[in-house]
Amino acid sequence: MEAALAATGGSSAAPARSRPEAWQPIPGDPEADLQTRDGEPDAYDVARQIVLRQLALSPKSRQQLRDKLRTRNCSDDVAEAVLDRMTDVGLVDDEAYAGMLVRSQQAGRGLAKRALARELRTKGVDDETAKATLDQIDPEAERDRAAQLVAKKLRSMHGLEPLVQKRRLAGMLARKGYPPELSMAVIREAIHAAPEHQRD
């Protein structure tokens, strides 16, 4: 009992955080029958299974899981104890989640730092973890992604005036979080190199 409390940040001095002896920190089967106490499902077991099912659907930040538990009327004490335990065993890891999200959004949507920061904030990743993750982004790699986005978009803009192309390309990169200076440099290079704008 005492060991289980310690593993989840609980204290034997706080009755609200006590658990029945049958409570298991991490079940082998997320769909296992709920432990019961006085004929009612144990709050810790209910919360634990909610978290496990959420993680089975897709990776989640700690804050997202906390929000889900609140919508299911789990008390804050129970939620934090379960999330602490999940963090201890590596099932909840905001650093890993942030890195995965950044890589996914870079590859799938070509997002840059500014937009990625918004994504991380939206997903509940704390500022310190977000900054540490974003600081690992290579500026040259980000520039290359911007150039690839511009080159792809430019192929669908054949025949438009250069000023129109610049405006539309700048808008696209701004929405993806690229800074104006980088955007304009990449756009100028791409338009200058485009065959349709080459002088005979």
Judge contact between 82 and 44, C-beta under 8 A.
Answer: yes
Structure-token match 């129109």, residue found: 164
The DSSP output letter for 195 is: G
Confidence (pLDDT) at 193: 85
Backbone angles phi, psi at 83, to 5 degrees: -65, -35
Q: How many CB atoms lie within 10 A of CB 86?
A: 22
Q: How many CB atoms lie within 10 A of CB 98?
A: 24
Across the chain, mean pLDDT equals 84
- Read off the pLDDT of residues 24-55 as tens digits, 9 standing for 90 and up: 444 444 444 445 555 567 999 999 999 999 99
Q: What is the pTM (predicted TM-score) of this model?
A: 0.75
**Three-state helix/strand/coil letters over 17-83:** HCCCCCCCCCCCCCCCCCCEECCEECHHHHHHHHHHHHHHHCCCCHHHHHHHHHHCCCCHHHHHHHH
Confidence (pLDDT) at 39: 57
d(CA 4, CA 36): 17
Confidence (pLDDT) at 197: 60
Kindly provide the b/e burial profile for residues 126-145, where b requires at least 16 CB atoms within 10 angstroms of the residue's own CB: eeebbeebbeeeeeeebeeb
- Read off the pLDDT of residues 121-140 as tens digits, 9 standing for 90 and up: 999 999 999 999 999 999 99
Out of 40-44, 105-109, 172-176, 184-188, pick the least confident.
Answer: 40-44
